């Protein structure tokens, strides 16, 4: 399942190339300002230019330590309460375009730990010195400027859910009271972060040594939270726990796995009722519900492969998390599963045909309504706000205030759940709905070129469909089956009884 940042990036991709992109002000969709990016780039540049001294390879079982620069560029920020432990090496660049000559890439990974932050919960990272440098802006405050505890910390939310045995999936998380869409049920921080690339670059012995060190440097209560989690792959215990329970995150725009023991108890469903947000500027994690949930109902996540058809989805889940999915969708009749597969194929086909040129904007009216209808039928709740927002702006481009406001309201409500009521996404939609005509997209379609048939949507076709018309062929108004173009942004994996996993290792 894609994280919120993945959904935000998708919004940008939908609009890529459209001439009215600047009007829609989507450059701020990813929650990082230009100033932040410039600072981030500067920090990364500084970090990469400062050599880490005395980096040693862990050849034996003995722990070997390295000194790293303490000039504010490679350790900084928390500060670290343990001396960083590092290992370096050289790997073939798997992304190289050269078939005959492999490019070599140097790397260094270190264990960084602060055992005091997050109210004594602590945090350990197995990552690069450059990422550690980028964390200098992280705010770990537990109190506001007046010294008052910040609201909705984990200890304040535990009354909303309980962990108990399920009938056939081991432990699970259940609502202790009625929950409304958008309610936050967990707000905490990962205990352990591991750079995704470290799982490929480090040899098994090196990886085990760094991970063991990372966990051993945490406070004892946090160590126990980690060690109590389920395992499913075998081999090194901490590596197994990580692969079984971690979820995808990004730190300083670098992919990491984050281990949140509380969330790791949430079981899988191909159409979940919960989702999560991660703020890489505070390292804070929020779990919230996507739909209204009655007291006693189990909370679920989608671990990945949500857009794959049934058979492929089932095999992928079994291969990665060692369990047979028995969620509501996968337990339907063969006919219902086939209908779902057909909708998923249509969804991928329509997504692949969304126009990226301004002069093709009318085609959005042919594709977006059926796409949203398909997403609704498939209960792909987290996918909808981005396309509802696009449709609102398209109607604004054509000067259709009522329709623009209608879809703007839907997008606003969706973003309030998905990104939060005070998110930038929700605020910009509130502004849009309040003053549609004041938005930069309003009425920019050339005067005199709006055709009434655009109002019907179904009657707007792409070039291929118009070409078929000329030859007397039938078309299906954007519902052609164009293959699966599957979305493999399966960043999230948790537990499923014996296999609480959120991570798929490629």
DSSP string for 338-379: HHHHHHHHHHHHHHHH---SGGGTHHHHHHHHHHHHHHHHTT
The CA-CA-CA angle for residues 500, 504, 505, to 5°, reads 125
Contact residues for 165 (Cβ-Cβ < 8 A; gap 6+): 171, 172
Q: Please tell me the distance from the alpha carbon of residue 319 to that of residue 317, in angstroms, as a whole number.
A: 5
- Tens of pLDDT, residue by residue over 215-241, are 999 999 999 999 999 888 888 999 999
For 55-62, the CB contacts below 8 A with 24+ separation are 55/86, 55/87, 55/88, 55/108, 56/86, 56/87, 57/87, 57/88, 57/89, 57/206, 58/87, 58/205, 58/206, 58/209, 58/210, 61/209
The residues pairing with 90 across neighbouring beta strands, listed in sequence order, are 106
Query: 33: pLDDT confidence band, cut at 50, 70 and 90?
Result: very low
Cβ 59 vs Cβ 88: under 8 Å: no
Per-residue model confidence (pLDDT) at position 281 = 80
The arithmetic mean of pLDDT across residues 474-478, rounded, is 37
Q: Please tell me the distance from the alpha carbon of residue 307 to that of residue 293, in angstroms, as a whole number.
A: 23
Please tell me whether the peptide bond between 79 and the residue prior to it is cis, using omega within 30 degrees of 0: yes
The arithmetic mean of pLDDT across residues 93-119, rounded, is 77
Reduced to 3 states (helix: H, G, I; strand: E, B; else coil), residue 160 is helix
How many Å separate Cα 361 from the centre of its chain? Answer: 28
Per-residue model confidence (pLDDT) at position 476 = 39
The residues pairing with 286 across neighbouring beta strands, listed in sequence order, are 187, 277
Listed by start position, the domains of the chain span 34-328, 350-447
Reduced to 3 states (helix: H, G, I; strand: E, B; else coil), residue 22 is helix
Q: Please tell me the distance from the alpha carbon of residue 418 to that of residue 119, in angstroms, as a whole number.
A: 27
Cβ 337 vs Cβ 330: under 8 Å: yes
**Residue 14's closest CA among 29, 33, 4, 32?**
29
Determine the straight-line distance between the first and last CA of the chain, rounded to whole angstroms: 15
Cβ 362 vs Cβ 465: under 8 Å: no
Cβ 61 vs Cβ 121: under 8 Å: no
The residues pairing with 123 across neighbouring beta strands, listed in sequence order, are 114
Written as six digits, the tokens of 323 are 């369990």
How many Å separate Cα 186 from the centre of its chain? Answer: 17
Per-residue model confidence (pLDDT) at position 335 = 98
245 vs 501, more confident: 245
Per-residue model confidence (pLDDT) at position 99 = 52
Contact residues for 339 (Cβ-Cβ < 8 A; gap 6+): none
User: What superfamily does domain 34-328 belong to in CATH?
Assistant: SET domain (2.170.270.10)
Write down the mean pLDDT value for the chain.
77
Residue 310 has pLDDT above 70, yes or no: yes
Phi/psi for 399 (5° steps) reads 75, 30
Per-residue model confidence (pLDDT) at position 244 = 87
Written as six digits, the tokens of 455 are 């109002």
Q: How many CA atoms lie within 13 A of 346 on its CB side?
A: 22
Per-residue model confidence (pLDDT) at position 79 = 75
Of 20-34, 133-147, 266-280, least confident by mean pLDDT is: 20-34
Query: 449: pLDDT confidence band, cut at 50, 70 and 90?
Result: low
Q: What DSSP string describes 106-138?
A: EEEEEEEEESSHHHHT-EEEEE-HHHHHHGGG-
Per-residue model confidence (pLDDT) at position 502 = 47
The radius of gyration of the chain from alpha carbons, rounded to an integer in Å, stands at 24
Per-residue model confidence (pLDDT) at position 243 = 87
Per-residue model confidence (pLDDT) at position 93 = 67
Per-residue model confidence (pLDDT) at position 347 = 97
DSSP H/E element including 162: strand 161-165
**Residue 401's closest CA among 431, 365, 442?**
442
């Amino acid at each position: 399942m894609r994280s919120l940042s993945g959904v935000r990036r998708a919004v940008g991709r939908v609009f890529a190339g459209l001439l009215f992109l600047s009007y829609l002000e989507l450059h701020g969709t990813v929650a990082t300002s230009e100033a932040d990016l410039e600072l981030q780039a500067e920090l990364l540049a500084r970090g990469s230019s400062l050599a880490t001294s005395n980096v040693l390879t862990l050849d034996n079982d003995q722990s070997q330590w390295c000194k790293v620069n303490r000039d504010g560029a490679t350790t900084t920020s928390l500060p670290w309460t343990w001396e960083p432990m590092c290992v370096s090496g050289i790997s073939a660049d798997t992304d190289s375009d050269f078939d005959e000559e492999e490019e070599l890439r140097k790397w260094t990974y270190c264990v960084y730990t602060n055992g005091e932050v997050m109210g004594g919960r602590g945090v350990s990272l197995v990552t690069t010195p450059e990422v550690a440098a980028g964390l200098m802006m992280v705010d770990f405050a537990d109190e506001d400027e007046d010294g008052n505890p910040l609201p909705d910390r984990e200890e304040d939310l535990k009354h909303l859910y309980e962990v108990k045995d399920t009938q056939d999936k081991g432990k699970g998380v259940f609502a202790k009271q009625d929950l409304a869409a958008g309610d936050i049920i967990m707000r905490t921080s990962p205990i352990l972060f591991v750079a995704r690339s470290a799982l490929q670059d480090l040899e098994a012995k090196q990886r085990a040594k760094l991970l063991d060190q990372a966990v051993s440097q945490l406070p004892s209560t946090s160590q126990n939270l980690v060690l109590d989690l389920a395992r499913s792959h075998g081999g090194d215990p901490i590596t197994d726990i990580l692969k079984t329970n971690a979820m995808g995150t990004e730190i300083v725009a670098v992919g990491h796995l984050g281990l949140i023991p509380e969330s790791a108890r949430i079981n899988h469903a191909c159409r979940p009722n919960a989702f999560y947000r991660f703020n890489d500027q505070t390292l804070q994690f929020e779990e919230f519900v996507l739909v209204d949930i009655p007291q006693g109902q189990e909370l679920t996540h989608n671990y990945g492969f949500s857009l794959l058809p049934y058979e492929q989805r089932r095999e992928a889940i079994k291969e990665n998390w060692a369990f047979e999915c028995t969620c509501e969708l996968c337990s339907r009749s063969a006919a219902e599963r086939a209908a779902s597969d057909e909708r998923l194929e249509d969804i991928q086909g329509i997504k692949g045909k969304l126009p990226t040129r301004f002069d093709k904007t009318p085609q959005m009216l042919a594709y977006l309504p059926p796409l949203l209808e398909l997403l609704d039928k498939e209960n792909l709740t987290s996918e909808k706000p981005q396309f509802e927002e696009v449709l609102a702006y398209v109607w604004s481009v054509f000067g259709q205030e009522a329709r623009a406001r209608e879809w703007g309201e839907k997008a606003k409500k969706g973003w309030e759940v998905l990104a939060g009521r005070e998110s930038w996404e929700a605020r910009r939609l509130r502004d849009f709905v309040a003053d549609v005509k004041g938005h930069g997209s309003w009425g920019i379609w050339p005067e005199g070129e709006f055709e009434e048939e655009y109002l019907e949507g179904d009657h707007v076709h792409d070039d291929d469909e118009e070409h078929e018309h000329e030859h007397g062929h039938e078309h299906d108004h954007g519902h052609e089956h164009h293959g699966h173009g599957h979305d493999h942004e399966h960043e999230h994996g948790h537990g499923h009884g014996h296999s609480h996993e959120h991570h798929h290792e490629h």
